[in-house]
Amino acid sequence: LLSTLSSFPQSNMTTPALLPLSGRRIPTLSPGAASFPHHRATLRLSEKFILLLILSAFITLCFGAFFFLPDNSKHKLSHSAPSPPDHKPQRGRDLMEEEESLRDKIRVDHERALQEAKEKLRKSRDELRAEIQTEKSKVVEDLKKKKEVPKPLPPVPMPKVVGVNDGDPVEPDVKEKRDKIREMMKHAWDSYRQYGWGHNELKPLAKKGHSTNIFGNSQMGATIVDALDSLYMMGLHDEFKDGQEWIEQNLDFSVNAEVSVFEVNIRFIGGLLAAYYLSGQEVFKVKAVQLAEKLLPAFNTPTGIPWAMVNLKSGVGRNWGWASAGSSILAEFGTLHMEFVHLTYLTGNPAYYQKVMHIRKLLAKMDRPNGLYPNYLNPRTGRWGQHHTSVGGLGDSFYEYLLKAWLMSDKTDTEARKTYDDAIEAIERHLIRKSNGGLTFIGEWKNGHLERKMGHLTCFAGGMFALGADGSPDAKAGHYLQLGAEIAHTCHESYDRTVLKLGPEAFKFDSGLEAVAVRQNEKYYILRPEVIETYWYMWRFTHDPKYRQWGWEAAQAIDKYCRVSGGFSGVKDVYSSNPTYDDVQQSFFLAETLKYLYLLFSSDDLMPLESWVFNTEAHPLPVLHLANLTLPGSQAQR
Ligand code: DMJ
């Protein structure tokens, strides 16, 4: 085109003020052209007209090529996957039609977006605000509508539920003590109700809600769920109903929160299942199952050993940063069995049962250093982490659940019983010692060395030994009951040797020191239940009055030193007559500490141990008479 244009004499040419793109516009002439004679002007005009025609044809061609030729990616596609020769013309037509409709769609979309943007810009700030608000409310409404309608679960025979409304003691002084414990429960509950309702826990001094990393950033009313069965047993039915209502209306697990699988299992699933069995209210069962579904992705690891934490919304799991070599924790993945067996029993879904049985099988195949189970196991490699063994923190409830699996199965799960017996035998050989002063203690095993330190958490083992005495091998029942009594005595000493008569978090048996904490950061008491738990089991098996006496000492100390106007708080130093508070009312104080105290001052027909097994958070689950039943997914069924 440029060469064509340059062949015309430049002086004869006028530049069109407007280039005709559509051919509808007429070129205007420059003022100079108007002074030429008419015929010359006519001649020039026709030349110009031709030129303009050529130019406009060229521009139209370029424009068409830009928009209508197939793009590069399409070329590539057709090179890499040529159609069979006889389909070529048809395929070409199809491609063109496809492109055409795609272009139309893009054009329409762009036009709509442009139009919307224009309209938005025309609106005032208030109009825009109102619009955003309407959108927001619509999303909330949609979410509400989407909330799962609880699916009815398959009916299963309800296990025999006995002794849930009994327990009135005959002796007036015992009754008085029991009433006092109920009053303490009411103070803890009412304070939470008033200041922390819906939050996981309570700050009784600041008088506001509280939560820790085990619940992620959720607000799932942990105290409500954990306290329900205690309220029920204590006959606090209005409070129970209040809690039930909150759960019906607010407890939602579709939250973007990374929670501890273990804690959520023992407190929430255990608490909801116990509330279901005690009250028969379907809502608790449905919520327990909904939550359990959210925990299942935690088991998606190369070994099937679950992650310590899982995000309830995304299902992504991971382990605690502090755990040895990315390990999962024995006391965490080993404390799921009771709840998961019940879930399979109630739903008919074999997944829960299979998950926990898989863990058991995997552990059975592993080498155990000195017959001991290390606290750490890597879920990717299936190998142990550091060789630390503990009957306290990180190990404790793994052993507890082996024994309780056997009890809960109406003593038919003999594999669990055997595993428990073997583990306890190794623990006795390597971890249990007598101090110079004659106190039996359970130390911590660290890479072949025994640390002569016992934790408050370890004190639960006294009750466990007593509970496992019946059924122990080689007629050693008497021995284990005695061992339970010795641990109870040692733990009582750890309370008695303090100023506040409350036990420290950990205590030593070293260099002349016995049952006392040495380090400042081990002197706190956070309303833990383990020592009182052991008193209660020992009371049930021996009826020795000293256990009620010791329990009452602890209850009085808690009421005197931990009670504040806004609830109950932990204390930072049990050796100080003027302790400072930690300002946390733990949910396990209502679930466990107060429940075990209440049971201690009740008669044995409240929650008889032949019919109920308490999970590690003191939530009672009924014994399943599995001899007459087959769990879906079990060997017998396969
Ligand atoms: C409770 O949450 C459970 O008892 C758990 O097994 C370990 N300890 C706390 C209370 O101390």
Please spell the DSSP secondary structure of 284-318, one letter per residue: HHHHHHHHHHHHGGGG-SSSSPPPSEEETTT--EE
Annotated binding site: 616
Binned at pLDDT 50, 70 and 90, residue 60 comes out as: low
pLDDT for position 151: 60
Binned at pLDDT 50, 70 and 90, residue 48 comes out as: low
With CA atoms as reference, report the closest residue to 284 among 302, 296, 298, 270.
270
**Which residue has better confidence, 81 or 351?**
351
Binned at pLDDT 50, 70 and 90, residue 56 comes out as: low
**Ligand 1 mutation pick, 505, 589, 616, 619, max ligand atoms within 8 A of CB:** 616
One-letter identity of residue 3: S
For ligand 1, whether the C-beta of 187 sits within 6 Å is: no
pLDDT for position 143: 57
For ligand 1, whether the C-beta of 588 sits within 6 Å is: yes
Catalytic residues: 263, 396, 505, 530
What mean pLDDT value characterizes the chain?
86
pLDDT for position 71: 40
What pLDDT, in 10s, does the model give residues 210-219? Answer: 999 999 999 9
What sign has the CA pseudo-torsion 233, 239, 241, 243?
negative
Over pLDDT 70: what percentage of the chain? 81
**CA 166 / ligand 1 centre spacing (Å):** 26
Residue closest by Cα to atom 10 of ligand 1:
528
The minimum-distance atom of ligand 1 relative to the CA of 528 is: 11
Angle at 380 between CA 374 and CA 381, to 5 degrees: 65
CB 402 within 8 A of CB 456: no
Buried b (16+ CB within 10 A) or exposed e, 22-46: eeeeebebeeebeeeeeeeeeebee
**Which residue has better confidence, 157 or 27?**
157
Tokens of 567: 């609830």
pLDDT for position 105: 77
* CA–CA distances in Å: residue 24 to residues 27, 244, 383: 10, 78, 82
Q: Which of 32-41, 116-125, 261-270 has the lowest mean pLDDT?
A: 32-41
CA distance 222 to 197: 10
Prediction pTM value: 0.77
Residue 209 is inside which H or E element, if any?
Answer: strand 208-210
CA distance 586 to 529: 11
Examine the pLDDT at 80 and tell me if it is beyond 50: no
Q: Which of 42-56, 89-103, 316-330, 343-357 has the lowest mean pLDDT?
A: 42-56
Residue closest by Cα to atom 6 of ligand 1:
616
One-letter identity of residue 582: D
Average pLDDT over residues 414-431: 98
CA distance 379 to 497: 42
What pLDDT, in 10s, does the model give residues 471-519? Answer: 999 889 999 999 999 999 999 999 999 999 999 999 999 988 999 999 9
Average pLDDT over residues 304-323: 97
Angle at 544 between CA 538 and CA 546, to 5 degrees: 90
For 117, other C-beta atoms within 10 Å of its C-beta total 10
Examine the pLDDT at 2 and tell me if it is beyond 50: no
**CA 263 / ligand 1 centre spacing (Å):** 9
pLDDT for position 517: 98
Examine the pLDDT at 147 and tell me if it is beyond 60: no
**CA 99 / ligand 1 centre spacing (Å):** 65
The 3-class SS string of 98-141 reads: HHHHHHHHHHHHHHHHHHHHHHHHHCCHHHHHHHHHHHHHHHHH
Residue closest by Cα to atom 11 of ligand 1:
528
With CA atoms as reference, report the closest residue to 243 among 264, 268, 261, 263.
268
Terminal-residue alpha carbon distance, the chain:
85
Average pLDDT over residues 243-260: 97
For ligand 1, whether the C-beta of 456 sits within 6 Å is: no
What pLDDT, in 10s, does the model give residues 595-610? Answer: 999 999 999 999 999 9
Q: Which long-range contacts (CB under 8 A, 24 or more apart) does 18-24 make?
A: 19/52, 19/55, 19/56, 19/59, 20/52, 20/56, 21/56, 21/59, 21/60, 23/56
For ligand 1, whether the C-beta of 397 sits within 6 Å is: yes
**CA 616 / ligand 1 centre spacing (Å):** 7
Binned at pLDDT 50, 70 and 90, residue 114 comes out as: confident
CA distance 458 to 13: 104
CA distance 308 to 319: 5
Tokens of 213: 């990393």
One-letter identity of residue 504: P
Tokens of 425: 């035998």
CB 195 within 8 A of CB 202: yes
Examine the pLDDT at 580 and tell me if it is beyond 90: yes
